[in-house]
Amino acid sequence: MSLSVDSSKECAGFKLPEEQSSQCDSGLGGGLEQREPWGQSPGLPCSSGEDRCESACDSAYGSGLLESFSSHCSLGASNKAPVHEATFDPWAYLSEEGDTFLHLCIIHEVEALALAFIAHCTLEYLNWQNDLLQTPLHLAMYTRQANIVRQLVLKGADTELQDRNGNTPLHLACQYSLEECVQALTKPVAAEERALLGCEAFNESGPPNLERHNWQGLTCLHLAVLYRNDAMVEHLLASGARVNTQEATSGRTALHLAVELGEIGLVSRLLRGGSDVDAPMYNGCTPLHLAVGRLDAGIAAALCQAGADLLLPNLEEETPLDLASSSWNVLELCPFDDVRLRGLPVV
């Protein structure tokens, strides 16, 4: 099922096709695909009446499924004698859209139940991708549940899996400015967390890959710049994101993107972070080419102060000075003269 940040709580409106009561024994009969990739059920006991099981199967995306499960299931051993009735097994459940029961708990923001599942399930279950290739970690990002994000990371959930748009959970956090979720995703494991979970329980795979491109060719830093999120840019650079990585479509760096947006604050921050002021795109254009072409005198001046080369040609043999020559304010766009201080032009 498809989720969006603006309407993540509307998922309860989705419906599953009606199932016959005879299909409720396993939770995977009929229209539900017979997939159970995570292996043996960890054995959470769930005893409920036949009518309740049939109702759960008929409205898997309705809140009734989670409410009935929460009120009739326990995570501990039961002293009651086994009841020979049809049972709903949440570990075997898989919707037509490929969502596990954990997916649904996160979608409906039933945090206590989601955390209980996370504590008992295998990595294969944690990393299961639905038909949109969304893992529970993707959905926790969409629904802004930082506590669940952190628990998934500590349990070893794969932070590198990509959804159908090529986005990792960190891409989503950067796109939608989810600072709290980014902290939960990237911060090192604290000593208290290590002691609480035990040496085998937390993720030892290291921080997420900050250089992975989505299917639009963008890294997390590119997305943070495109969405004008200064705090996210700061966090990514401090976490080791490479400031000169090129996006895959036209070879723009984060500095090119900031210049195109006219964001002089981001331009200054990226320059302080070591951005190559003369980095070429695939067509040879530098950030100064873009600033001059957009008649942005403020950014052009900032680039020149950082040492941008006014005479560097692109693939069409045009320099930034050539582009400015056709403008009435050429001196404003290219503020250079013969006086240089420590190799930099005096503006």
What integer is the mean pLDDT of 114-135?
A: 94
Q: Of 17-26, 45-54, 72-81, 322-331, where does the model show the most confidence?
A: 322-331
- Lowest mean pLDDT across 71-85, 97-111, 315-329: 71-85
Quick one: average pLDDT of 24-32? 35
Measuring CA to CA, how many Å separate 56 from each of 78, 202, 213? 22, 33, 39
Confidence label for 109 from pLDDT (cuts 50, 70 and 90)? very high
Give me the residues paired with residue 46 across strands. 73
Supply the pLDDT for residue 193: 74
Q: Is the pLDDT of residue 235 over 70?
A: yes
Share of the chain above pLDDT 90, in %: 54
Rounded to an integer, the average pLDDT of 200-223 is 81
Q: How far is the CA of 161 from the CAs of 132, 282, 334, in angstroms?
A: 12, 28, 45
Is pLDDT above 70 for 49? no
- For residue 329, what pLDDT band results from cuts at 50, 70 and 90? low
Mean of pLDDT values over 301-310: 93
Q: What pLDDT is attached to residue 332?
A: 57
- Where are any strands of DSSP class E within the chain? 340-341, 344-345
Measured CA to CA, the distance from residue 205 to residue 159 in angstroms comes to 9
* pLDDT tens-place string over residues 73-104: 555 555 655 555 568 888 889 999 999 999 99
The per-residue pLDDT of the chain, averaged, comes to 77
Spatial contact of 105 and 114, defined as CB atoms under 8 Å apart? yes
Segment 228-257 shows an average pLDDT of 95
Residue 186 has pLDDT above 60, yes or no: yes
The phi and psi torsions of 341 (rounded to 5 degrees) equal -120, 115
pLDDT given at position 50: 42
Q: Supply the pLDDT for residue 22.
A: 38
Q: Is the pLDDT of residue 33 over 60?
A: no
> Between β-strands 344-345 and 340-341, what pairing exists: parallel, antiparallel or unpaired?
antiparallel
**Looking at residues 145-165, what average pLDDT do you find?**
94
What is the average per-residue pLDDT within 192-211?
Answer: 66
Query: Confidence band (pLDDT; 50, 70, 90) for 324?
Result: confident
Structure tokens at 6: 């603006």
Identify the residue with better confidence: 197 or 176. 176
Please report the pLDDT score of residue 216 as a whole number. 96
Domains of the chain (ranges plus CATH)? 240-347 (1.25.40.20)
Which pLDDT value is given to residue 59?
Answer: 36
Ranges 76-85, 154-163, 269-278, 300-309: which has the least confidence:
76-85
Contact 264, 302 (CB under 8 A): yes
Exposure letters 240-251 (e unless 16+ CB within 10 A, then b): ebebebbbbeeb
Residue 207: C-alpha distances to residues 125, 180, 246, 337 (Å): 21, 16, 21, 47
Mean pLDDT over 170-185 rounds to 93
The mean pLDDT of 5-19, rounded to a whole number, is 40
Q: Residue 17 pLDDT > 70, yes or no?
A: no
**Which of the residue ranges 42-46, 130-134, 165-169 would you say has the lowest mean pLDDT?**
42-46
Q: Determine the pLDDT at residue 89.
A: 85
Q: Is the pTM of this model over 0.75?
A: no
The pLDDT-based confidence of 112 (bands split at 50, 70, 90) is: very high
Q: What is the C-alpha to C-alpha distance for residues 122 and 138, in angstroms, rounded to an integer?
A: 17
